[in-house]
Amino acid sequence: MARRKVKPAADRAGQPFVVKNSRIAGRGGFATRAIETGERIIEYLGERVTHAVADARYDDYASATHHTFLFAVSRQTVIDAAVDGNDARFLNHSCDPNCEAVIERSRVFIVALKPIAKGEELVYDYAYTRDGSETEEEEYTLYGCRCGTKKCRGTILAPLTPAELKKRAAAAKKRHHPRHAVARTGHEG
Protein backbone atom coordinates (compact mmCIF):
# COMPACT_ATOMS: atom_id res chain seq x y z
CA MET A 1 0.00 0.00 0.00
CA ALA A 2 1.32 3.42 -0.94
CA ARG A 3 1.86 6.11 1.57
CA ARG A 4 -0.69 8.84 1.50
CA LYS A 5 0.67 12.31 0.84
CA VAL A 6 -0.17 15.05 3.31
CA LYS A 7 -1.40 18.27 1.74
CA PRO A 8 1.05 21.16 1.95
CA ALA A 9 0.42 23.59 4.80
CA ALA A 10 -0.70 26.31 2.39
CA ASP A 11 -3.64 24.15 1.29
CA ARG A 12 -4.62 23.07 4.76
CA ALA A 13 -4.71 26.72 5.81
CA GLY A 14 -7.71 27.06 3.47
CA GLN A 15 -10.06 27.49 6.38
CA PRO A 16 -8.61 30.35 8.41
CA PHE A 17 -10.74 29.84 11.52
CA VAL A 18 -11.53 27.41 14.32
CA VAL A 19 -14.89 26.72 15.91
CA LYS A 20 -15.15 27.23 19.66
CA ASN A 21 -17.51 28.66 22.28
CA SER A 22 -18.63 32.22 21.60
CA ARG A 23 -19.89 34.98 23.86
CA ILE A 24 -22.47 35.90 21.23
CA ALA A 25 -24.24 32.54 20.99
CA GLY A 26 -23.28 28.89 21.27
CA ARG A 27 -20.27 28.27 19.12
CA GLY A 28 -18.59 30.67 16.73
CA GLY A 29 -15.71 30.88 14.26
CA PHE A 30 -12.46 32.57 15.31
CA ALA A 31 -9.68 33.66 12.94
CA THR A 32 -6.51 31.57 13.24
CA ARG A 33 -4.54 34.14 11.23
CA ALA A 34 -4.91 37.66 9.87
CA ILE A 35 -7.52 37.82 7.08
CA GLU A 36 -7.53 40.47 4.37
CA THR A 37 -10.50 42.48 3.13
CA GLY A 38 -12.24 40.62 0.33
CA GLU A 39 -10.73 37.27 1.25
CA ARG A 40 -13.09 34.36 0.62
CA ILE A 41 -13.17 32.54 3.95
CA ILE A 42 -15.46 29.55 3.40
CA GLU A 43 -18.35 28.38 1.27
CA TYR A 44 -21.68 27.90 3.08
CA LEU A 45 -22.43 24.26 2.32
CA GLY A 46 -25.39 22.03 3.03
CA GLU A 47 -28.29 20.28 1.40
CA ARG A 48 -30.01 22.36 -1.27
CA VAL A 49 -33.78 22.19 -0.84
CA THR A 50 -36.85 24.20 -1.86
CA HIS A 51 -38.42 26.73 0.52
CA ALA A 52 -41.40 24.40 0.89
CA VAL A 53 -39.16 21.58 2.06
CA ALA A 54 -37.36 23.90 4.50
CA ASP A 55 -40.68 25.16 5.86
CA ALA A 56 -41.88 21.62 6.40
CA ARG A 57 -38.63 20.69 8.11
CA TYR A 58 -38.64 23.52 10.64
CA ASP A 59 -41.52 25.17 12.39
CA ASP A 60 -40.58 28.51 13.99
CA TYR A 61 -43.52 28.41 16.30
CA ALA A 62 -42.63 25.01 17.66
CA SER A 63 -39.38 26.19 19.23
CA ALA A 64 -38.81 28.92 21.78
CA THR A 65 -35.78 30.27 20.01
CA HIS A 66 -35.23 30.49 16.32
CA HIS A 67 -32.29 28.30 15.54
CA THR A 68 -31.80 26.73 12.14
CA PHE A 69 -28.95 26.55 9.67
CA LEU A 70 -31.02 27.70 6.71
CA PHE A 71 -29.63 30.12 4.14
CA ALA A 72 -32.02 31.47 1.50
CA VAL A 73 -30.05 31.56 -1.75
CA SER A 74 -32.88 32.52 -4.10
CA ARG A 75 -36.65 32.40 -4.40
CA GLN A 76 -36.31 28.73 -5.26
CA THR A 77 -33.47 27.42 -3.16
CA VAL A 78 -32.49 27.19 0.50
CA ILE A 79 -29.28 25.65 1.82
CA ASP A 80 -29.86 23.58 4.96
CA ALA A 81 -26.46 23.32 6.63
CA ALA A 82 -27.88 20.96 9.26
CA VAL A 83 -27.56 18.32 6.52
CA ASP A 84 -24.03 17.86 5.12
CA GLY A 85 -23.07 21.34 6.31
CA ASN A 86 -19.54 22.54 7.04
CA ASP A 87 -18.10 24.89 9.66
CA ALA A 88 -19.66 27.93 7.92
CA ARG A 89 -22.86 27.13 9.81
CA PHE A 90 -21.22 28.03 13.12
CA LEU A 91 -20.44 31.62 12.19
CA ASN A 92 -22.57 33.97 14.31
CA HIS A 93 -24.65 36.97 13.39
CA SER A 94 -23.65 40.54 14.20
CA CYS A 95 -25.30 43.86 13.35
CA ASP A 96 -21.77 45.28 12.96
CA PRO A 97 -20.10 42.47 11.02
CA ASN A 98 -16.58 41.89 9.75
CA CYS A 99 -17.76 39.45 7.06
CA GLU A 100 -20.57 39.26 4.54
CA ALA A 101 -22.34 36.46 2.71
CA VAL A 102 -21.89 36.78 -1.04
CA ILE A 103 -23.99 34.78 -3.50
CA GLU A 104 -22.23 33.77 -6.71
CA ARG A 105 -23.95 31.56 -9.28
CA SER A 106 -26.23 30.22 -6.58
CA ARG A 107 -23.34 29.40 -4.25
CA VAL A 108 -22.81 31.23 -0.97
CA PHE A 109 -19.40 32.41 0.23
CA ILE A 110 -18.45 34.14 3.46
CA VAL A 111 -16.10 37.00 2.56
CA ALA A 112 -14.14 39.39 4.80
CA LEU A 113 -15.56 42.94 4.80
CA LYS A 114 -12.53 44.41 6.51
CA PRO A 115 -9.12 43.31 7.78
CA ILE A 116 -9.60 40.75 10.56
CA ALA A 117 -7.00 40.09 13.23
CA LYS A 118 -6.03 36.63 14.46
CA GLY A 119 -8.35 35.60 17.30
CA GLU A 120 -11.24 37.83 16.23
CA GLU A 121 -14.67 36.22 15.91
CA LEU A 122 -15.95 36.03 12.34
CA VAL A 123 -19.49 37.39 12.09
CA TYR A 124 -21.86 38.43 9.33
CA ASP A 125 -25.31 39.97 9.16
CA TYR A 126 -27.85 37.14 8.83
CA ALA A 127 -30.48 39.64 7.63
CA TYR A 128 -33.16 36.95 7.80
CA THR A 129 -35.66 37.41 5.01
CA ARG A 130 -39.01 38.71 6.21
CA ASP A 131 -42.19 37.19 4.85
CA GLY A 132 -44.46 39.76 6.49
CA SER A 133 -45.83 37.34 9.07
CA GLU A 134 -43.42 38.45 11.80
CA THR A 135 -44.99 40.54 14.56
CA GLU A 136 -43.07 43.38 16.18
CA GLU A 137 -42.81 41.31 19.34
CA GLU A 138 -41.33 38.30 17.56
CA GLU A 139 -38.82 40.56 15.91
CA TYR A 140 -37.18 41.13 19.29
CA THR A 141 -37.92 37.80 20.98
CA LEU A 142 -37.92 34.88 18.54
CA TYR A 143 -35.56 36.74 16.20
CA GLY A 144 -33.89 38.88 18.85
CA CYS A 145 -30.21 39.85 18.56
CA ARG A 146 -27.75 40.02 21.39
CA CYS A 147 -24.61 40.81 19.41
CA GLY A 148 -23.85 43.58 21.87
CA THR A 149 -22.43 46.01 19.31
CA LYS A 150 -23.29 49.72 19.32
CA LYS A 151 -25.00 49.23 15.96
CA CYS A 152 -27.23 46.42 17.24
CA ARG A 153 -30.73 46.80 15.74
CA GLY A 154 -32.15 44.27 18.24
CA THR A 155 -33.09 41.66 15.65
CA ILE A 156 -31.45 39.28 13.23
CA LEU A 157 -34.23 39.97 10.71
CA ALA A 158 -33.24 42.12 7.75
CA PRO A 159 -33.67 45.86 8.38
CA LEU A 160 -37.10 47.15 7.33
CA THR A 161 -37.23 48.90 3.98
CA PRO A 162 -38.65 52.48 3.95
CA ALA A 163 -41.88 51.09 2.44
CA GLU A 164 -42.20 48.49 5.20
CA LEU A 165 -41.57 51.15 7.88
CA LYS A 166 -44.34 53.31 6.42
CA LYS A 167 -46.75 50.38 6.35
CA ARG A 168 -45.95 49.49 9.95
CA ALA A 169 -46.46 53.07 11.16
CA ALA A 170 -49.84 53.19 9.40
CA ALA A 171 -50.87 49.87 10.95
CA ALA A 172 -49.87 51.07 14.43
CA LYS A 173 -51.98 54.22 13.99
CA LYS A 174 -54.99 52.15 12.98
CA ARG A 175 -54.53 49.85 15.98
CA HIS A 176 -54.25 52.64 18.51
CA HIS A 177 -57.09 54.99 17.65
CA PRO A 178 -60.07 52.63 17.81
CA ARG A 179 -58.78 51.07 21.01
CA HIS A 180 -58.86 54.43 22.82
CA ALA A 181 -62.26 55.25 21.43
CA VAL A 182 -63.73 51.96 22.60
CA ALA A 183 -62.29 52.39 26.12
CA ARG A 184 -63.73 55.87 26.39
CA THR A 185 -67.26 54.97 25.30
CA GLY A 186 -67.09 52.01 27.63
CA HIS A 187 -66.48 54.26 30.65
CA GLU A 188 -69.10 56.77 29.67
CA GLY A 189 -71.77 54.23 28.89
Among residues 45 and 155, whose Cβ is nearest to Zn ion? 155
Cβ at position 130, least distance to Zn ion in Å: 16
Among residues 71 and 126, whose Cβ is nearest to Zn ion? 126
Measured between alpha carbons, how far is residue 176 from residues 39, 131, 172 in Å? 49, 24, 6
Among residues 16 and 29, whose Cβ is nearest to Zn ion? 29
Cβ at position 88, least distance to Zn ion in Å: 20
How many Å apart are CA 56 and CA 172, to the nearest integer?
32
Among residues 112 and 156, whose Cβ is nearest to Zn ion? 156
Among residues 49 and 147, whose Cβ is nearest to Zn ion? 147
Q: Which residues, at least 6 apart from 90, have a Cβ–Cβ distance to it below 8 Å?
A: 19, 26, 27, 28, 29
Cβ at position 93, least distance to Zn ion in Å: 7
Cβ at position 98, least distance to Zn ion in Å: 13
Binding site for Zn ion (CB under 5 A): 95, 145, 147, 152
Cβ at position 149, least distance to Zn ion in Å: 6
